[in-house]
DNA sequence: ACGCCACCTGTCCGCGTGGACAATACCCAT
DNA sequence: ATGGGTATTGTCCACGCGGACAGGTGGCGT
């Protein structure tokens, strides 16, 4: 095992920076894209960068400082609202990985391990799309669908809950009692290992 | 950290099997594709499979035993001579990863970690090719950012609320009172024209 | 100085939610 | 027949949430 390369955290979001400190790897905080120059000339490679700056004029990866450092660094780009097109763009701009800004720490650590090892890291949503684009007659990749362990009825309830319907609204829509909706949701929460309907919504809509 | 899921090693190459034993994870050796059935019904998920069987009639991923188990398992497929087309085929057949049979142990371990975590793993060669194939000049419209009308503080609160944090958790994270969080959220709801934090989450994450 | 705005805090209250106890009925496999 | 899974409904209760009243501070521009 290599002794964990140091990590440059690049964001102007103080809160996010603090959150990312928990990743370990002797993190160093930076705010300006130009800090990539000093990081690279110091012999380091690993960078975690926030793609959503407060004062955004143009995409980060179009800046000169990014362009001249991208190939020499191992950059993991994070977005608050990951989006396939943005992911493609930033990967094409030389990033080694693309993920959610608030991805679980374990996921971020894994992604950093991967790109530190010289590989590329792409989340399953974007990767699935890439595969689908290349092979259009794709019968659906092996990623487990959120509704896999659910029964038919549970799926219906979960679907409605995930778009914000209240228990009563779901009950009316399905012609059952609110109590029954709660029973189904309880089962859904347990099977999908989520705490509440908001986490369910995030799961259903492919966030994290 | 999860306590390393057990691993099923599927190959009829004794030498290779011995080599893969070094990966750890309480490896279990299997020779026949049908052993995937018992592995899955035993509640396990992780599999490392050799795509180059001694007596090859048809690609492994076209066998019935593969097809009926692929979605339920996390399969890392390995080939002695990795090739982009084979990689695409096997990934489309439900594998969660594709790599070289004799990849370094650290690489294999990393790949297993990744797919055990629910992600997909693709080597940089294949991934680069995928990116190149879809490198259509991305339209990338500057869609109105959800946080446009929000103040700095409101943005922070909204971001945390949108990933499921409770008011109290947000308050602790920002070093303010729960009451203040509610005040900010009230303003956020009004500015973004949403009823509650679930709708906020959907908006923030680009759903609808 | 005055108004505006961002930021912060307090109390009260109604309601939706989710969990913990239940129970009944149907279908299907051993 | 007995057991298991699915679907349904009931009551009770603690908790978080969001709204509605209220208030205080500091900065910034006219």
Residues A37-46 have pLDDT tens digits of 899 888 899 9
Inter-chain CB proximity A143 and B118 less than 8 Å: yes
Cβ of B156 within 8 Å of Cβ of A102? The answer is no
Q: How many CB atoms lie within 10 A of CB B130?
A: 26
Residue appearing with tokens 């990623």: A143
Residue of chain B nearest A59, judged by CA positions:
B142
Residue closest to D5 C1′ by Cα: A151
Are A65 and A33 in contact by the 8 Å Cβ rule? The answer is yes
Spatial separation of the C-alpha atoms in residues A81 and A86, rounded to whole Å: 9
Q: Per residue of chain B (208 residues), what is the pLDDT tens digit?
A: 445 788 999 988 787 788 898 888 888 998 888 888 888 878 888 999 998 766 556 677 877 777 777 777 889 998 877 777 788 888 888 888 898 888 878 888 989 988 888 888 888 777 776 776 655 433 333 345 677 778 889 999 999 999 999 999 999 999 999 999 999 999 999 999 999 999 999 888 766 5
Q: Is B127-204 CATH 1.10.10.10?
A: yes
> Domain segments of chain A: what residues?
7-121, 127-204
Q: Are B188 and B150 in contact (CB under 8 A)?
A: yes
Q: Answer yes or no: do A120 and B139 touch at CB < 8 A.
A: no
A107-136 as b/e: b if 16+ CB within 10 A: bbbbbbbbbbbebbbbbbbbbbbbbeebee
- Domain B7-121: which topology? Rossmann fold (3.40.50)
């Amino acid at each position: 095992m290599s002794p964990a390369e140091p990590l440059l955290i690049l964001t102007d979001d103080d809160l996010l920076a603090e959150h990312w400190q928990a990743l370990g790897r002797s993190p160093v905080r930076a705010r300006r894209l130009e800090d990539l120059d000093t990081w690279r000339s110091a012999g380091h490679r690993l960078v975690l960068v926030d793609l959503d700056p407060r004062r955004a004029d143009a995409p980060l990866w179009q800046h000169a400082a990014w362009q001249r450092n991208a190939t020499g660094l191992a950059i993991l780009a994070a977005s608050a609202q990951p989006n396939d097109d943005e992911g493609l763009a930033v990967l094409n701009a030389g990033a080694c990985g693309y993920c959610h800004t608030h991805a679980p720490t374990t996921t971020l650590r894994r992604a950093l391990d991967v790109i530190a090892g010289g590989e590329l890291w792409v989340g399953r949503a974007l990767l699935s799309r890439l595969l689908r684009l290349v092979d259009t007659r794709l019968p659906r990749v092996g990623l487990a669908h959120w509704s896999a362990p659910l029964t038919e009825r549970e799926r219906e309830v979960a679907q409605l809950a995930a778009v914000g319907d209240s228990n009563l609204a779901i009950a009316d829509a399905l012609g059952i009692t609110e109590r029954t909706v709660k029973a189904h949701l309880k089962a859904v929460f347990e099977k999908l290992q989520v705490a509440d309907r908001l986490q369910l919504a995030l799961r259903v809509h492919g966030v994290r």
